[in-house]
Amino acid sequence: MLSNNPEFQNLLLLHGRDRRFGKLEEELKLLPDDIIRIEKKILTENKTIELAVSEWKELESKNNSLEKEILEISEKITKSKVRQLKVKKNEEYQALENEISNMVVLQAEKEDKQIEILIKIDDAKATAEVAQDKIVQRVNDLGQQKRNLENRISHVNQELVELNNEIESSRTQVENEMLKTYDRVKKVVARAPFLAPLKDQKCSGCNLRVSNDVISTALVEQKLTQCDQCGRIVYIER
Ligand SMILES: [Zn+2]
C-alpha cells in the first residue's frame, strides 16, 4: 500500500509543511487589520478622557470668568457708595441707590450661578479622574495586545523563512513523478488539503464517494491516485 512507501511518507511530510506554511500566511494577512482595530480602540479611549477633561476645564474657565464679573460688580458697588457720600441732591442720591440695588441683585444672581458651576465642577472632576484611572489601565492593556500582535508578526515571518527552508529540503526528498503530480494537484485544488485519506470510500478532502476503481488503485498500486471528484491525491491510511 502506498502509505507504507517511504517516498509517500516524504510527500506527507512535505504536505504537512506546505499546509502549515499556508496557515501562517493566512494569519499574517489578518494580523495588520487586528492591529489597526486595536489602534482605533486606543484612540477612542483616549478621546473619552480628553472629552471628560475638556468638560471639566470648560467649567473651570466659566467659573473664573464669573469670579471676575462678581469682583467687578463689587468694585462698582463700592465706587457708587463712595460717590453717594459726596452727592448733595436727593435725586442723584436716589439714582445711585437704585443703581447699587440693581448691581446687588445682579451680583447675587452671578453668585448663585457660580455655586451651580462649582457643584458641576466637583462632578466633572470626579468623572474625569475615574475615566482617567479606568481608561489608562484599558489603554495599557490594549497597548500590550498591540505589542503582542507585532511580536507575532515578526515571529510568523521568521517561522515562514524557516519553514520555507524545510519545504525546500522536503521537496528534494520526494520522488520526481510524485512531486510533479503533487504540484499539479496544488494548482488545481483551490484549498488545502491536497492529500486526503479515504474514509468509508469517501475522499476526506471533498467528502464525496470515490469510484471503486480509485479505491482498488489506492489499495494496490504504489503510484499516486486522485479523487475522481475533486482531484486531490487520496490514499488509504494504515
Ligand atoms: Zn475529493
What spacing in Å lies between the alpha carbon of 16 and ligand 1's midpoint? 18
User: From ligand 1's centre to the CA of 225, what distance in Å?
Assistant: 11
Q: Are 18 and 25 in contact (CB under 8 A)?
A: no
pLDDT tens for each residue of 75-105: 999 999 999 999 999 999 999 999 999 999 9
61-77: pLDDT as tens digits: 999 999 999 999 999 99
Q: Where in the chain do CATH 1.10.287.1490 domains reside?
A: 18-170
Spell out the SS3 assignment of the chain.
CHHHCHHHHHHHHHHHHHHHHHHHHHHHHHHHHHHHHHHHHHHHHHHHHHHHHHHHHHHHHHHHHHHHHHHHHHHHHHHHHHHHHHCCCHHHHHHHHHHHHHHHHHHHHHHHHHHHHHHHHHHHHHHHHHHHHHHHHHHHHHHHHHHHHHHHHHHHHHHHHHHHHHHHHHHHHCCHHHHHHHHHHHHHCCCCCCEEEEECCEECCCCCECCHHHHHHHHHCCCCEECCCCCCEEECCC
Separation between Cα atoms, residue 183 and residue 179, nearest integer Å:
6
Mean pLDDT taken over the chain: 94
For residues 87 and 68, the answer to whether their CB atoms sit within 8 Å is no
> Considering just the CA atoms, what is the radius of gyration of the chain in Å?
41
**Residue 146 Cα to ligand 1 middle (Å):** 41
* Contacts of the segment 97-104: beta carbons below 8 A, 24+ positions apart: 103/73, 103/76, 103/77, 104/77
* pLDDT tier at 47, thresholds 50, 70, 90: very high
HSE-up of residue 132 (Cα within 13 Å, Cβ side): 11
The three cell numbers locating residue 199: 474514509
Is residue 173 within 8 A of residue 192, CB to CB? The reply is: no
Cα 168 to ligand 1 centroid, rounded to whole Å: 27
In this predicted structure, the answer to whether residue 3 has a pLDDT above a threshold of 80 is no
- Give pLDDT, residue 97: 95
Closest to 181 (Cα-Cα) out of 234, 219, 221: 234
- Check pLDDT > 80 for residue 27: yes
For the residues 25-44, what does the mean pLDDT come to?
A: 97
* 107-135 tens-digit pLDDT: 999 999 999 999 999 999 999 999 899 99
Ligand 1 centroid – CA 198 distance (Å): 9
pTM of this prediction exceeds 0.95: no
**Rounded distance from Cα 173 to ligand 1 centre (Å):** 26
- Ligand 1 centre from 25 Cα, in Å? 24
Torsion angle, alpha carbons of 146, 152, 153, 155, to 10: 150
Instruction: Report how far ligand 1's centroid is from the alpha carbon of 119 (Å).
Output: 74
CA–centroid distance, 1 to ligand 1, in Å, is 19
Gap from CA of 192 to ligand 1 centroid (Å): 11
d(CA 168, CA 104): 92
CATH topology of domain 18-170: Helix Hairpins (1.10.287)
| pLDDT of the residue at 1 | 66
CA of 51 to the centre of ligand 1 (A): 58
Distance (angstroms) between ligand 1 centre and the Cα of 235 equals 11
* Cα 175 to ligand 1 centroid, rounded to whole Å: 23
**Model confidence band, residue 198 (pLDDT cutoffs 50, 70, 90):** very high
Question: Are the C-beta atoms of 226 and 188 separated by less than 8 Å?
Answer: no
Q: Please give the pLDDT value at position 221.
A: 82
Between 3-12, 59-68, 162-171, the lowest mean confidence (pLDDT) is in 3-12
